[in-house]
Amino acid sequence: MTALPEYYVNERILFEDFSDITDFSNVAWSTAGTKTADAVYTKVGASSMRIQTAVGARAMLQKTIDKVFTNNELYIRVYIPDNTNLDYIEISLTTEANSSDVNNYNKRFAMTWYYRVLQTGWNIIPIVSSVVWSPPIAWTKKGTIDWASAMKTITVVVNPKEASSTTVVFDSIYCDIKKDPLALITFDDGYDSLYTLAYPLFKARGLKSTFYVSSSLVGGAGRLTAAQLIEMYADGISIGNHSSTHDTLVGLSYATVSSRLQTCIDYLLSLGLERAAYHVAAPGGATDANVLQVMADLGMKTHRNASSSTGGLWNAVGLPENAITALSLGPSTSLAVAKAAIDNAITNGLVVSLYGHIIADSGTTAWSAANLTALLDYIVERGIKTVTIDEYHEGKINPRYNSVSLARATS
């Protein structure tokens, strides 16, 4: 779904790092959960807060705060050891100082995420004020409450599936976020039309893109050559890993998947194309648990899949932190739809992720040169910045790109 919100964030406040678990107490009228400090799964602060539920019972823990939010957009990072028994996670804010009173708790802003969009591993969960997702990701208002008032209590809820227990690690919450929109445009399969048609269009406009290639196909009929890859790379096009062949990786042995991805890594490095050698788009966008494990073990920095239910707008809700989804630039996607994705990214400060294959007037995966020209002109007109996959990733991890305010909320 979304750009990860940490990319190119101009300012944000670390509202909660969950390092002091004594700040949180069980809600009196709910079944108690077990809270412990977790120093292993933590990205902010010395430790996170691990919550384990009782069997078949939700855990609700709350903290007293005093905060007026400048906007009602937050991003929450959690680690889920295993989502098999998880039903949902909820975050709520109330203006009532005593939300242990069930009547006060019924006057709140709340957001719930169900297991279907929460993955085993790290998740970044957005709460945004605008409705641009399907399904919408926005606060639900319960009772009489408004954002102009100071919030007095924050409550985190973990609910297991029936007759089960589950665990969630809460790492951090950011608020008062200001960020810039970005466009991440990628192409798969290494067709020669990327050199003859797409590359000149990007270069003439000073825009950036990433081309994922399968190493065994380079130099083949209708495909990019090594010399073309090197030329485009020198002009700022990043060349990513699309495996050594274009056959699916799903269902293969660990050794075979590892060999195919490593072969492509080695090939790209041998040509001096190191920027995106460890950024992968699996053939067909298809992965399974085995493929994801190989990617992790090889040190892959990102993997981009090939589907989107959100018009290309994403911020990684329901995705591991290094996963990226994208809207296809193919016959079923009109220029108007692609432009609308750009508009929504700009309006909401998100990353729009688009991917294509061959530039041609017809074909099962084709998008026309006329459409691409018009889209890139629109990107220039709207002033949205384009980035390569490696720049996107650098922006997540490097403070040079990810400029974070040192301010911390008072709570």
308: left (phi over 0), alpha (psi -120 to 50) or beta: beta
CB 230 within 8 A of CB 397: no
Encoded tokens for 382: 């709207």
CB 330 within 8 A of CB 371: no
Architecture of domain 9-177 in this structure: Sandwich (2.60)
Each of the 411 residues of the chain gets a pLDDT tens digit; together they read: 233 334 444 566 889 999 999 999 998 777 778 999 999 999 888 999 999 999 999 999 999 999 998 777 787 889 999 999 999 999 999 988 765 566 666 788 888 888 877 878 888 776 655 434 434 456 888 888 888 889 999 999 999 999 999 999 999 998 876 667 889 999 999 999 999 999 999 999 999 999 999 999 999 999 999 999 999 999 999 999 999 999 999 999 999 999 999 999 999 999 999 999 999 999 998 888 899 889 989 989 888 876 544 433 333 333 344 556 678 899 999 999 999 989 988 887 777 889 999 999 999 999 999 999 999 999 999 999 999 998 887 765 443 333 333 232 333
CB 140 within 8 A of CB 90: no
Encoded tokens for 367: 């998008």
Nearest to 353 by CA among 401, 287, 301, 309: 309
Burial of residue 330 (CB within 10 Å: 0-12, 13-18, 19+) is middle
Positive or negative torsion for Cα 94, 97, 102, 104: negative
Quote the CA–CA distance of 282 and 261 in Å, as a whole number: 9
Is this model's pTM higher than 0.75 or not?
A: no
CB 323 within 8 A of CB 302: yes
DSSP state, residue 113: E
Q: What is the pLDDT of residue 96?
A: 83
The residues near 150 (Cβ < 8 Å, ≥ 6 apart) are 66, 67, 68, 95
Nearest to 185 by CA among 401, 397, 367, 398: 367
* Pick among 3.40.50.1360, 2.60.40.3880, 3.40.50.150, 3.20.20.370: CATH of 182-397: 3.20.20.370
The residues near 6 (Cβ < 8 Å, ≥ 6 apart) are 75, 124, 395, 396, 402
Domain ranges of the chain: 9-177, 182-397
Measured CA angle at 71 (ends 67, 75), to 5 deg: 85
Quote the CA–CA distance of 382 and 384 in Å, as a whole number: 6
Measured CA angle at 248 (ends 85, 305), to 5 deg: 60
**Can you give the length of the chain in residues?**
411
Quote the CA–CA distance of 211 and 234 in Å, as a whole number: 13
Q: What are phi and psi of 279, to 5 degrees?
A: -115, 125
CB 9 within 8 A of CB 404: yes
